[in-house]
Amino acid sequence: MIVAITGANGFIGQHLERRFVEGGATVRPLMRRDLHSERLDQLFDEADVIVHAAGATRAPTRAILRESNVALTRRVLAAAQRANVGRFVFVSSQAAAGPASFRDIPVTEEMSPSPIEAYGRSKLDAETLIRESGYASWTIVRPAAVYGPGDRDFLALFRLARFGVAVHPGNREQWVSIVHVREAVDGIIRVASDTQTNGGTFFLANDEPVQWSDLFRLAAASHGKALSVDIEVPTWLTGVAALFGDLAAKLSGKAGLLTSEKVALSKPNFWICSNERAKRELGFAPRISLEEGFAETREWYRANGWL
């Protein structure tokens, strides 16, 4: 099997490439410069599957975010159709569906999506492009919050927790679905290899959600620490700080973790989704405990000089 992976140099993309190669597939890793090349059709030629994992989780402006997630998906999809690639797998996000309303009623694939910020809306619009494209064989996966070796979004949490410190931007009690990168990759590989999933959408997440307060505790424990400082930043103060983050993003051309769009994600109480369809139809079976996954992630950060 020949697999073309867009965003192969990204967090999930690197793990995907490694796992496909280990499974005996021929992999064509495509970086962002490749996706804007006039040779894009040729790069897809004779590929059996495209896994479109390229995109942006944050950007200095909404226009750039849409360019990275919607316009780029349109370009990749059109090139894949011209090259007659048999199967298209799109790595979307839980953010495309939006949060749940209640702790005991997680979001499912059958519910109408209700994204609440620009990133989620851009991912949903990209999904719509695929659904309406007429592509013969496609599948969409929506990973929950993905962590693991090589991830940068959880790095700040681990850096604080090594000193026994937790700082919550108004979200200490927020419930979130989460998944280790290896298990998210397992789900992606399953849909890439199984045409029975054609036209389907699947959440990839652990069986049980967790609160941010527990994630900080687990990160501290991975350092052999207990939390000694646990600070909840008031929502209004986080909002003010985010305005400065927005300005810094526009001036620098690079968005950080503290922007108005990211703060919007901290407001709902329940960022939880159900993995039941993936378990039932894909055989998806998350088994890495958060204790094990956090210990592994912390060790990777340390070994690679990130901590």
Give CA angle at 30 (200, 261), nearest 5°: 65
Whole-number pLDDT of residue 113: 97
Q: How deeply is 35 buried, as exposed, middle or buried, from its count of CB atoms within 10 A (0-12, 13-18, 19+)?
A: middle
Answer whether CATH 3.40.50.1000 is correct for domain 2-303: no
pLDDT tens figures, 160-219: 999 999 998 878 899 999 999 999 999 999 999 887 888 999 999 999 999 999 999 999
Domain ranges of the chain: 2-303
3-state secondary structure of 91: strand
CB 295 within 8 A of CB 215: no
Whether pLDDT at 263 is above 90 = no
Predicted TM-score (pTM) of this structure: 0.92
3-state helix, strand, coil split of the chain in percent (to 5) is 45, 20, 35
Average pLDDT value for residue range 245-259: 72
Whether pLDDT at 25 is above 70 = yes
> CA-CA distances (angstroms) from residue 191 to 11, 114, 185?
19, 24, 10
Place of tokens 């998944």: 179
CB 92 within 8 A of CB 138: no
